[in-house]
Each structure stands twice: as C-alpha cells, then as structure tokens.
A and B are shown apart, each in its own frame.
Chain A
C-alpha cells in the first residue's frame, strides 16, 4: 500500500474528451474484425440442429471439392486439446470438437475453412450431419438443483422468528428471462502461429486470462502466447470467458499453418458467447408496523448449461443493503440442455435487485408507507449488516435523498392510477441499488522519457468505458504532466498483466497499480541522484514528478530535470512497475464497499393500447472518486439504457421442444433504441472511497441496477398492477 496519498485533482475528475475519440469517429480504431494478415484464410462455425444427442455421421467429402475450401474440422479430425485450466468465475466451457456429444441446440459441431468468407459460408451450409438425437432436458423442474460455488447460502439471525415477529408480511415469486449480451461488435478472432508461438487478435475482455487458457490447452509456453485487443466492440460480460470459438480458430490455424480469421454471426452471438441466464426467485419480507424490516428471505434458481455453470450472484447482495437482523439467502442452479450462461452487465444484481426492490415496493404498499421512506428507514449505511464492520464508504442514503429531491418525489400521490395526463396514466417508481466491490489484481508500467513525455502500459482492455482516458488523466496528475504528454497503451498481453474489464473492477485495480508504479518510478529515479544532488537521500514518497522534473514533495522548488538524471547514467528512459496492493482487510478494519445508487422513474401508459413510455429517469450514483465526469456520466447513461432494455424488451426465447433460440436475430430480439430512451439526469454523490489510494469504485454496472425495478414499481403506481415477471410487455398493460 502506498503510504502517501497521491496528489490528484488537476486532471482527475475533469470531463476531458476520450483520448481515443478521434480514432473511433474516423473508423481508424482497429478491432479484431478489422485485422487481415498475409495468407489468412476464413473459418465459419457449423452448429448443431438438435438440442441433445450424439453425432453419428458427418460427411465432409463433398465440401472439400468446393471452390476455395481448404479444410473441414469435426470431432474426428480436430486436434485433441489439453483440459482447460481454472478460469475466472468458475468452470470453463469444454473444449470443442473433442467428441460427438451434443449438449445444446446450436452447439459448435464443425469448422469450415476456405480462402474467402463467402466460400466458407457456402460450404458450411452444405455440410451433412446425422445425429442420434435425444429429447433435450429443458424443464427446470425436471432438473437436479445444485449449489453455485460463487453464491453460497447465507444466513444470519432467525428468519422464522423474524417472520413471526412481523406485523406485515409479503411473499411472492419473481422471474427474469434469458437476456443476451449482444455487444454490437461481433465476437471473433484472427489466430496465427509461428512455431510454438501464437498471436491472437480477439474480442476478449481479459487478455491475460485468454493467454493462460490458450497456452495450457495447446500445451505451449505462456510466454509465447500473445493476445491483442487494442479495441473491443463492447462485451458486457460476453468477452469474459474462453469460448470454444477461440480454440477452434487457434487449432485450425495450427493445423493449416496459416492465419485463420473466425468471426461469429449475429445468430451465433445468441448461442456461443453466453447470456444472462433465466432466474426464478422467491422473496419473503417481514416488517413491523413502523416499517422496520424483521426478516428477508431470498431464494433463487438460475439456469445453467450441461457443461458450464452460471455465475449466479443473484442473492449475494441481499444481505448487505438493508440493516435487517434476520436474513437468509439460498441459491441453486439446474443444468439443462441450454447454451452457455455468463455474466451480463451487473451480473446477479440485475436479476436479484429486480426481485428485492419490487418486493420492497410491495411491502411499502402493504404498510401504507412511502416506498422511499421504507428504504431510508432500513438502508445500512454505516455498518455492513452481515459482518458488523464499517463500510469503506456508503452513500446509498444520499443517493436516495438527492434523487428524490431532483425528481420531485414529494409531489407523488401514492395511490395507484391517481396521476394522469389526459388519457395517459402516469407512474412514479423508485429503487435503491448496490453493486458488490470487486478488486482483481492488475499491474502497470509507467515510463518517463528524456523529452519529458511519459507512457503507461498494461494488458488491460478498454471495453468502451474509457480506460485509456482515465488512466491518461491519472498518470498526468501523478507525473505533473498534461494528458497530451502521456501515452497510454492497453490491450496487449505482452504488457504488464492486468485484470479483465469486468465486474466493475478494472478502474480501481488499474489506477492503484499506476499509483504504485509511479511510486516505484520515483524510487528508481532517486537512485540516479548522486551524493551532490539536492534530492539525495530522499525516499520515493518524499518526491513527486512535476513538469519533467523530480521535485521535493514538501518544496517543489527543489527540483532536478528527469532528463539530467537519465543523462547522468547514459539512460534514455526509466520505468517503474506497479501493482494493486490491496489493504489487509482485517487490519483495515473496514469492509470494502461497492458502488450504490438510487433510480427514480416516470412512466406514461396509454391504457387503451398498453403502450408504455419511460418519460423521465433520475439516476444518482455513489461511485467514489470520479475519474472523468463526462465519461462516468456516459457509463450511467448507457447502463440506464441497458436497464430499460431489461425492463421492457430483452427476452431470449427458447423453443420448448427443441431448445433452439427462437428469436436469435436483431430483428426478433428487441433492445432499446434511441426512441425508447428519455433524457436521463445523471448525478454523482459520495466521497472518495477509503479502501484504496485511488478512492475509486467501479461504475460500469451500478447504473443498470435498480432501473428495471424502478420501472416496474412505476408501472404499479400507474396501473395498480404488480409486475413480477420481466420483460414488462403490452399484454401485461392492456386495460
């Protein structure tokens, strides 16, 4: 842990434009799909047309006579791969094309490689596969419930006693459907081998995690595998796992001795790179007449695929938001012949918050109490109610109060259908929100050059959140430079190892690594200060870098140009390596808090045709120290759009007979478009978090949490109808 608090404030926090903006608006930012290598051939994945069973025959002989076709890989000729190493968030999907087993409809069963993508696509269409099909297991009730490793059951107090002691009780079942991440960028890669060295341009959110998997499964040294992702067309969790397509491309490239490009199609994006899995949740709440919670019980079942478990985390936040003495959470999964689940923006909280915050609204109506007042009475802001230790920061009450003020909540008539505008029914709803703290390891290298400029390097990926920009701002403050003097490069596993962009963990992880790297850099520069130097004898935290000079922290007029320090030893640059140094949790005496929020929504419903419009959103977030106000606002705006989609549109349908995705295109799977989104008011509250020197919290996901529940609660306010199943569709709103 760096002893001295960093000097931040000149550039950190400012809403500067994205440093990669000009590349993105001119079409010059290179994504994996834009990579072309000499001699490159194109691969197309063939997927199963049954939901369970075994392949009995694949006839590829005719395909090989088609123009341009170079190879067809099936389980009969694809190279055998080593078992997957442990991966982030649980199991890895099984290696592709190792046997003829089919575990879900649309699974990878063959790979066609041809000179052009048109030739490969044509050949893939003509492949003939015979299956011994079995009836897919698709009914959750017929499956075997099992626990989820990342979501253990929790219990405190005595929920049955809390139930008995309650004056008012509610209990209901809530459902969230499968949602598909669907980043705009189709996922895929270009893989090229040189002997045992593999270079892959991919759409992963984590270059280091992918490097580890590829090295282990192909049996080559990790040092020789390079993963490059300078730009990423979104992901929202779909880029967290080491999906089979990457192994298919790398395997084919090795067999053919040529670079192989493999880009998934949009329909394949619904089946081969994960989704937010379906949940069914039972919630019971009890409270005394004054609105004090006496018990919370949250039971969730989340669906998994046969070979790959869901992440879960549906109930993991439940015991931490409200100060209730009696809480029990139970989470189970069922393995079905369904496609792979994964994390999708705000994993677990997106689903769990829907149930809990809808239930809280139901409880408020049972109590005859303002839903905001019920939250304020029970939110746990000082101590984490599970451990009894103080939070490192918690601004959830401030989020609620500020949001209510901006929204005008006090003018709300609580009676359902009481607020109207002409023929329209208006509804005002709110929800509180939290997202867990997650602090994965990252490393970074900071280099200063004789010309006064500096560079930051890390293997982290900028998924679109603005990592390039905020790290540039942070380094500019730490080095006393203008952001234009700092060159930040990311997305290359040959750079210092970093966590993935995911779990809202990267900004904190990487910014603390950069703070540590600058401290080490200062230490390295001090070793160049000879006995006659005014800086001689000082420690790394006694000095700061300012305008190309190393200065005494307590008296910046005592300074030595970095160029002089370097030249004295014949150096042209000096680097400092750093890593996240998380505090010892026990010694810190506090619980690392995640981000918090409160969402206030106005909907207008035309009862004659069931049309619902979200008219107004006030979204307040405690995100700790904000690194860039403009980009942080964009994170909350974007997550709000995701929440509107979750609430009103997104629903990946599975054919109950075959297990096939029934709406796997952008024509059939609806997402929020511009016309569905109102102007959103985004406000940040709270203080820099105490847990790490950067003071940051992750804000990529918190903005989505609570949006769906606030909309559902607003619908209840408008109509008197309680929404418990997502998405909220016209048929639920027709009067």
Chain B
C-alpha cells in the first residue's frame, strides 16, 4: 500500500492542551479529543480502547507498539495522535477478517509457537505483515534482519522466523 499524506486541514485546537483528531482505525472512522501531547499509542489504547497495541519502551526502541499508518509500519509511541488526522491506521485488532478469522500470519504464529508471554506479539505481527508486503521474506537472514526492530525478551525469534517463512511461502 502506498503511503499518502493527508490533505485534510490541520487538526483543530480546542485550547492549549486539547486537539480534535479525525482518523480511520481498522476501517472505522474515529474522532479523538485528546491532550496535544498524546501519542498515537496512547490514543489507540486509552481513547479507543484498542489495548492490543503494547507499550514496551515509549522510546521507539522495542517495536511492541508497531501499527500501520497508511499501510506502512510505524512505532506508535513516537507519533503524536494529531499526526494521523485524515490517515488510515491499522492495529492488531484489524488483522482478523470480517468473519473473525485469523490472518494467516496469526495462525502461523500460533502453530509455530512464535511467542511466549505474548507481549511483543502484536508488534511482531504488524511488522511481519508489512515485511511480507515489502517483499522482505526472501530468506531467513532477510526475515531476521527486517524483524530485528521488534525485541522479544522471551526469545521466540527462531519460531517467529519459521512462522513468517511459512506465511511467505503460502503466498500471503
């Protein structure tokens, strides 16, 4: 998916600390009235109740908060909520289809035991979905390189690689 900048006007400031944000999350229009300092991560979790996206460091270093903005992976802790005004956001909650079926990568993660505590998993999945789209699953080494922005402290890396490899082979 191509990344496009919003042509919408700048978000409307209510007062010094409040801003209205109009965005689309997992295909549904959403309006947030949030503190101007609110990150995309916080808006998703606190304003929309989409707690699947995790906070692991708040410094863009662990990847647990990875979501898609206009189809590209971003760490949502380093993006202000106001920056997604007029843009499309996809979170882990948006990976299942209309019938509630798991995305092939989600199934592969379960089958290959590609997680343990599960805390980094939503971010791993969101990175992996983009990695497949970007055509970066050509080899295990390439998968490892392009998944290395997502830390897994339980150490499930080998199983994550296996899951991504399988999903890539399946034409996902």
Contact = CB atoms under 8 A, between A and B. Distances in A.
B136 to A, nearest CB: 12
A594 to B, nearest CB: 21
Contact of A26 (B58, B64, B92): B92
Contacts of A23: 118
Interface stretch (A381-389, A414-422, A671-679): A671-679
Interface stretch (A231-239, A562-570, A595-603, A718-726): A231-239
28 contacts: A21-B115, A22-B102, A23-B118, A24-B118, A24-B121, A26-B92, A26-B93, A26-B106, A33-B54, A118-B42, A119-B35, A185-B54, A185-B119, A234-B153, A265-B58, A266-B56, A266-B57, A465-B116, A630-B113, A633-B113, A637-B159, A638-B156, A641-B155, A665-B57, A666-B57, A674-B150, A675-B145, A677-B155
Interface in A229-249: 231-234, 236
A18 interface: yes
Contact of B155 (A22, A27, A231, A672): A672
Contacts of A186: 55-57
A642 interface: yes
Interface string B17-35: 1000000000000000001
B110 interface: yes
Nearest to B105: A25
Interface in A6-30: 17-18, 20-30
Contacts of B118: 20, 23-25, 29, 231, 233, 464
Q: Which 3 pairs from chain A and chain B are nearest by CB? A: A27-B52, A641-B155, A464-B117
B119 A25 contact: no
B157 A641 contact: yes
A119 B156 CA distance: 36
A620 to B, nearest CB: 16
Contact of B110 (A25, A36, A265): A25
B172 interface: no
B151 A634 contact: no
Given A185-B54, A464-B154, A17 B92 contact: no
B133 to A, nearest CB: 18
Contact of A236 (B38, B96, B152, B153): B153
A466 B96 CA distance: 24
Given A183-B119, A183-B153, A266-B58, A634 B148 contact: no
Given A22-B110, A27-B93, A233 B38 contact: no
A231 B118 CA distance: 9
Nearest to B143: A674
Contacts of A29: 118
Between A33, A672, A674, the greatest number of chain B beta carbons within 10 A of the residue's beta carbon is seen for A674
Given A17-B113, A236-B153, A673-B149, 11 more contacts: A25-B109, A183-B119, A184-B56, A184-B117, A184-B151, A634-B159, A641-B157, A665-B61, A674-B147, A674-B148, A677-B155
A27 B120 CA distance: 10
Interface string B126-155: 000000000000001101110111111111
A27 B122 contact: yes
A195 interface: no
B38 A118 contact: yes
Nearest to B92: A27
Nearest to B149: A673
A266 B154 CA distance: 17
Interface in A174-218: 182-186
Contacts of A21: 109-110, 113, 115
Contacts of B93: 26-27
A117 interface: yes
A343 interface: no
B116 A233 contact: no
Nearest to B121: A24
Given A265-B58, A675-B144, A24 B155 contact: no
Contacts of A673: 148-149, 151, 157
A307 B32 CA distance: 46
A680 to B, nearest CB: 6
B59 interface: yes
A460 to B, nearest CB: 15
A263 B57 CA distance: 11
Contacts of A631: 113
A634 B113 contact: yes
Given A464-B117, A634-B113, A667-B61, A122 B156 contact: no
Nearest to B35: A118
A528 B155 CA distance: 49
A584 B42 CA distance: 54
Nearest to A673: B148
Given A26-B96, A236-B153, A464-B154, A638 B119 contact: no
Nearest to B50: A27
A499 B59 CA distance: 35
Between B113, B117, B120, the greatest number of chain A beta carbons within 10 A of the residue's beta carbon is seen for B117
Contacts of B55: 33, 186, 263
A34 interface: yes
B157 A25 contact: no
A116 interface: yes
Interface string B89-124: 001110110000010001001110101111111100
A357 to B, nearest CB: 21
Nearest to B140: A679
B45 to A, nearest CB: 8
A710 B150 CA distance: 27
A673 B46 CA distance: 29
Between A26, A122, A671, the greatest number of chain B beta carbons within 10 A of the residue's beta carbon is seen for A26
Given A18-B113, A118-B37, A184-B153, A637 B56 contact: no
Given A116-B35, A671-B151, A185 B56 contact: yes
B92 A184 contact: no
A642 B148 CA distance: 15
A118 B17 CA distance: 10
Contact of A679 (B50, B110, B113, B158): B158
A31 interface: yes
Nearest to A266: B57
A124 to B, nearest CB: 13
B101 to A, nearest CB: 11
A589 interface: no
B167 interface: no
